[in-house]
Amino acid sequence: MTETAPRIAVVVFPGSNDDRDAALALESLGAEPVLHWHAEPELPDVGAVVLPGGFSYGDYLRAGAIARFSPAMRAVADFATDGGFVLGICNGFQVLCEAGLLPGVLRPNESLSFVCRDAAVRVERNDVPFLGECEIGQRLTIPVKHGEGCYFADDELLAQLEANGQVVLRYDGESPNGSVDDIAGIVNADGNVMGLMPHPEHAADPLLGSTDGALILKALVERARERLFAAA
Residue (49 or 153) nearer to another protein, CB: 153
Strand partners, 193: 86
Q: Is 118 exposed, middle or buried (0-12, 13-18, 19+ CB in 10 A)?
A: middle
End-to-end CA distance of the chain: 6
Rounded to a whole number of angstroms, the minimum distance from the CB of residue 94 to another protein is 11
- Give the interface size with another protein as a residue count (CB under 8 A): 19
Residue (97 or 131) nearer to another protein, CB: 97
Which positions from 172 through 201 interact with another protein, judged by CB under 8 A? 178
Rounded to a whole number of angstroms, the minimum distance from the CB of residue 65 to another protein is 6
Q: Which of 111, 135, 136, 139 binds another protein (CB under 8 A)?
A: 111
Residue 90 appears among annotated catalytic residues? yes
Within its chain, how far is the Cα of 102 from the centroid? 11
Residue 150 appears among annotated catalytic residues? no
Rounded to a whole number of angstroms, the minimum distance from the CB of residue 156 to another protein is 11
The answer to whether residue 105 forms part of the interface with another protein (CB under 8 A) is yes
Residue (14 or 30) nearer to another protein, CB: 14
8 Å CB contact between 220 and 213: no
Strand partners, 32: 7
The three-class DSSP label of residue 106 is strand
Alpha-carbon distance values, 34 to 15, 22, 39 (Å): 18, 10, 14
Count of C-beta atoms within a 10 Å radius of residue 108: 18
Rounded to a whole number of angstroms, the minimum distance from the CB of residue 59 to another protein is 13
Which positions from 122 through 181 interact with another protein, judged by CB under 8 A? 152-154, 157, 178
The answer to whether residue 107 forms part of the interface with another protein (CB under 8 A) is yes
CA distance 131 to 168: 8
The answer to whether residue 226 forms part of the interface with another protein (CB under 8 A) is no
Strand partners, 33: 8
Contact set with another protein (CB under 8 A): 61-62, 65-66, 69, 98, 104-105, 107-112, 152-154, 157, 178
* Residues acting as catalytic residues: 90, 199, 201
